[in-house]
C-alpha cells in the first residue's frame, strides 16, 4: 500500500469508525496492574521497596480473580436486595438498617449476637400479652430503658438493644463486679467497673455507640460493703451517687469532679437511692444479720432518720415519692418490701420469694414500681406501695418461668424473661393493664 492509499484508508476509518469493543475483566485487570506499577515508581525513588516489573503478569492475573470475584459479589448482592423477604427469613424488615449501624462501629463495639425473634413469639400463656422479641440470655435485673434504646448486661458485655426489633445493635466489653443496673444520665450510660477497697472505678459509655467516653476513679473511705447491691444511682439533679465505703460520694458526671461526700456512722454503705424531689438520700448498711436504713437531708448532708430490720442480705434500694423499696433475704426467702417515708418500722412485704436461683428486685419506671419473679408479676403505686395490678406467672411442665427487671422505653413495657424448661430467655414485651399507668 502506497502513501496515498494509506491516507485514504485512514480518512475512511475516521468517517466510519469501528464499533467500540466491550471492556473485559482482563482489560480492567491489566489497567489495575499497570496503574499499580506506575504509582509504585515514585515510591521506589523515595526508597520504598516495590515489586519488580517482571511481576506485572502475575499482578494482572491476580487482578482478574479479584475483579471477577468482586463482580460476582456485586451480582449476588443485587440479587439479594432485589428479593422480597419470605416468611421463613426470620429477620424483621428493619434488620438491614440495624446491621448497617453496627458495621460502622469500632471493633470493640461490634455486636456479638443479635438474637432476634421475629415475628415476636407469644409466651407464658399470653399473660399481659407477653411476647419474646430477643433470645439472648441477659443478667438478671440488668435491663433499663431510656428513650428509644434498651440496655442490658450479658456474657461479659454491655448491650444496647433496639426495642422495635430486639436486635442487639451495639456492645461494649463489661463484667459487673457487683449487682447494679446500668445508670443512664443524658447521653451517657454509667456502670460500676471495679468495686473494692481503695478506689471505686466508674466507666461511662456513649448512649448510642457504646464507645467508652469516661472513666472516673473515686477513692473509697474505709472498706466497701461485702453485701453491696445497688451501689450506684443517678439523682434527679443530674449527679451520680455512689456508695464508697463509709461515705456516699456525689459526682458530677459532666466534669468527673467529686462534688461532696456524705459521711456515715453505721458502717459501709451497701445500697443508695435518691428521692424524686431531690430532698432525701437513702442509704442502706448491713452488719451482724441486721439491715439499717439511714435518711439524709441532701441540702445539708445531715442524717434525719434511722431504722432497722433484722434480716439477712438486704439492698437494691429504690426511692419513690412515698418512701423506699428494697429486697431482703435470698432465694425462696427473698422478698420486696416498702417502707413508707423511709421508716422500716412501718414497712410491709410486697412480693414473695422467686427461688430457683432467681431474684425479685423492684424497678421504678413509667410512673409505676414493678415487681417480678417466678410467681407473680405486679405493678405498684409509688406513693402508697399498694399493688395496682398483678398476674400469676405460669409454669412450664411444673418448671418456673421468670419475668423481672421491668422497664418502660419509648412508651412500651419490657422485661427479661426466662423459661428453663423450654430453654428460652431474652427480652419480652408486655401490655400491662391500664391500672399500671396510675
pLDDT in tens, the chain (438 residues): 544 544 444 444 444 444 443 444 334 343 343 444 433 333 333 333 333 333 333 333 333 333 333 333 333 333 333 333 333 333 333 333 333 333 334 444 444 444 676 688 999 888 999 999 999 999 989 999 999 999 999 989 999 999 999 999 999 999 999 999 999 999 999 999 999 878 899 999 999 999 999 999 999 999 999 889 999 999 999 999 999 999 999 999 999 999 999 999 888 999 999 999 999 999 999 876 788 999 999 999 999 999 998 876 678 999 999 999 999 876 666 789 999 999 999 999 998 766 666 778 999 999 999 999 888 999 999 999 999 999 999 888 888 889 999 999 989 999 999 998 888 999 999 999 999 986
State the Cα–Cα distance between residues 270 and 283, nearest whole angstrom: 7
Give the strand order in the sheet containing 116-122.
Answer: 116-122, 131-134, 424-430, 412-419, 399-409, 395-396
Say if residue 65 is in the same domain as residue 137: no
Q: Is residue 86 part of a domain?
A: no
Say if residue 26 is in the same domain as residue 142: no
Residue 156 φ/ψ, nearest 5 degrees: 85, 20
SS3 20: coil
Q: Is residue 93 part of a domain?
A: no
State the Cα–Cα distance between residues 268 and 224, nearest whole angstrom: 6
Q: Is residue 100 part of a domain?
A: no
Say if residue 69 is in the same domain as residue 121: no
Our count of domains for the chain comes to: 2
| Nearest CA among 409, 365, 366 for reference residue 147 | 409
For residue 201, with 0-12 CB atoms within 10 Å meaning exposed, 13-18 middle and 19 or more buried, which class applies? middle
State the Cα–Cα distance between residues 72 and 231, nearest whole angstrom: 55
State the Cα–Cα distance between residues 288 and 266, nearest whole angstrom: 12
State the Cα–Cα distance between residues 383 and 380, nearest whole angstrom: 9
Question: pTM for the complete prediction?
Answer: 0.74
Say if residue 390 is in the same domain as residue 254: yes
Say if residue 264 is in the same domain as residue 212: yes
SS3 333: helix
pLDDT for the residue numbered 267: 85
pLDDT for the residue numbered 139: 93
How many CA atoms, within 13 angstroms, populate the side-chain half-sphere of residue 151? Answer: 25
pLDDT for the residue numbered 120: 87
Say if residue 67 is in the same domain as residue 150: no
Through-space distance between the first and last CA atoms of the chain, rounded to whole angstroms = 102
pLDDT for the residue numbered 117: 64
pLDDT for the residue numbered 431: 96
Cβ contact 131:415 at 8 Å: no
SS3 322: coil
Q: Is residue 110 part of a domain?
A: no
Q: Is residue 65 part of a domain?
A: yes
pLDDT for the residue numbered 88: 31
pLDDT for the residue numbered 57: 37
Cβ contact 153:182 at 8 Å: yes
Q: Is residue 106 part of a domain?
A: no
H or E segment and range at residue 14: helix 3-15
Q: Is residue 90 part of a domain?
A: no
State the Cα–Cα distance between residues 356 and 402, nearest whole angstrom: 10
State the Cα–Cα distance between residues 310 and 326, nearest whole angstrom: 14
Say if residue 31 is in the same domain as residue 141: no
Say if residue 152 is in the same domain as residue 249: yes
Say if residue 231 is in the same domain as residue 360: yes
Residue 402 φ/ψ, nearest 5 degrees: -135, 135
SS3 305: strand
pLDDT for the residue numbered 69: 39
Say if residue 138 is in the same domain as residue 59: no
Residues with Cβ within 8 Å of 158's Cβ and at least 6 positions away in sequence, in order, are 151, 152, 171, 172, 173, 174, 182, 189, 191, 205, 210
Say if residue 344 is in the same domain as residue 264: yes
State the Cα–Cα distance between residues 391 and 208, nearest whole angstrom: 34
pLDDT for the residue numbered 311: 72
Say if residue 146 is in the same domain as residue 275: yes
CA-based radius of gyration for the chain: 31
Q: Is residue 98 part of a domain?
A: no
User: Containing domain of residue 61, as a range?
Assistant: 19-74
CATH (domain of 126): 2.130.10.10
Amino acid at each position: 500500500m502506497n502513501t496515498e492509499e494509506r491516507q485514504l484508508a485512514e480518512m475512511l476509518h475516521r468517517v466510519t469508525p469501528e464499533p467500540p469493543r466491550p471492556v473485559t475483566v482482563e482489560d480492567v485487570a491489566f489497567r489495575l496492574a499497570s496503574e499499580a506499577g506506575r504509582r509504585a515508581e515514585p515510591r521506589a525513588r523515595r526508597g520504598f521497596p516495590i515489586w519488580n516489573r517482571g511481576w506485572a503478569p502475575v499482578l494482572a492475573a491476580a487482578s482478574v480473580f479479584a475483579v471477577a470475584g468482586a463482580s460476582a459479589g456485586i451480582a449476588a448482592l443485587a440479587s439479594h436486595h432485589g428479593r422480597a423477604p419470605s416468611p421463613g427469613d426470620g429477620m424483621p424488615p428493619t434488620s438491614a438498617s440495624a446491621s448497617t449501624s453496627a458495621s460502622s462501629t469500632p471493633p470493640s463495639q461490634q455486636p456479638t449476637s443479635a438474637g432476634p425473634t421475629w415475628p415476636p413469639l407469644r409466651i407464658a400463656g399470653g399473660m399481659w400479652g407477653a411476647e419474646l422479641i430477643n433470645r439472648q440470655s441477659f443478667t438478671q435485673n440488668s435491663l433499663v430503658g431510656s428513650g428509644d434504646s434498651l440496655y442490658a448486661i450479658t456474657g461479659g458485655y454491655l448491650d444496647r438493644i433496639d426495642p422495635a426489633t430486639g436486635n442487639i445493635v451495639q456492645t461494649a466489653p463489661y463484667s459487673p463486679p457487683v449487682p447494679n443496673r446500668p445508670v443512664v444520665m443524658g447521653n451517657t450510660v454509667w456502670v460500676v467497673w471495679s468495686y473494692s477497697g481503695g478506689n471505686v472505678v466508674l466507666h461511662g459509655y456513649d448512649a448510642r455507640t457504646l464507645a467508652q467516653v469516661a472513666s472516673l476513679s473515686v477513692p473509697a473511705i474505709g472498706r466497701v460493703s461485702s453485701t453491696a447491691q445497688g451501689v450506684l444511682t443517678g439523682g434527679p439533679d443530674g449527679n451520680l451517687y455512689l456508695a464508697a465505703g463509709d461515705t456516699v460520694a456525689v459526682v458530677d458526671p459532666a466534669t468527673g469532679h467529686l462534688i461532696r461526700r456524705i459521711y456515715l456512722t453505721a458502717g459501709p454503705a451497701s445500697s443508695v437511692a435518691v428521692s424524686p424531689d431531690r430532698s432525701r438520700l437513702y442509704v442502706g448498711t448491713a452488719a451482724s444479720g441486721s439491715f439499717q436504713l439511714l435518711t439524709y437531708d441532701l441540702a445539708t448532708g445531715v442524717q434525719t432518720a434511722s431504722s432497722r430490720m433484722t434480716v439477712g442480705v438486704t439492698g437494691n434500694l429504690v426511692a419513690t415519692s412515698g418512701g423506699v423499696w428494697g429486697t431482703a433475704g435470698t432465694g425462696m426467702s427473698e422478698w420486696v418490701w416498702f417502707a413508707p417515708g423511709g421508716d422500716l418500722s412501718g414497712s410491709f412485704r410486697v412480693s414473695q420469694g422467686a427461688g430457683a436461683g432467681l431474684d425479685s428486685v423492684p424497678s421504678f419506671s413509667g410512673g409505676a414500681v414493678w415487681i417480678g419473679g417466678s410467681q407473680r408479676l405486679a405493678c405498684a403505686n409509688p406513693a402508697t406501695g399498694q399493688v395496682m395490678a398483678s398476674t400469676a406467672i405460669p409454669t412450664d411442665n411444673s418448671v418456673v418461668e421468670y419475668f423481672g427487671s421491668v422497664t418502660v422505653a419509648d412508651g412500651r413495657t419490657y422485661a427479661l424473661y426466662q423459661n428453663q424448661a423450654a430453654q428460652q430467655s431474652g427480652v419480652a414485651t408486655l401490655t400491662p393493664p391500664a391500672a399500671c399507668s396510675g
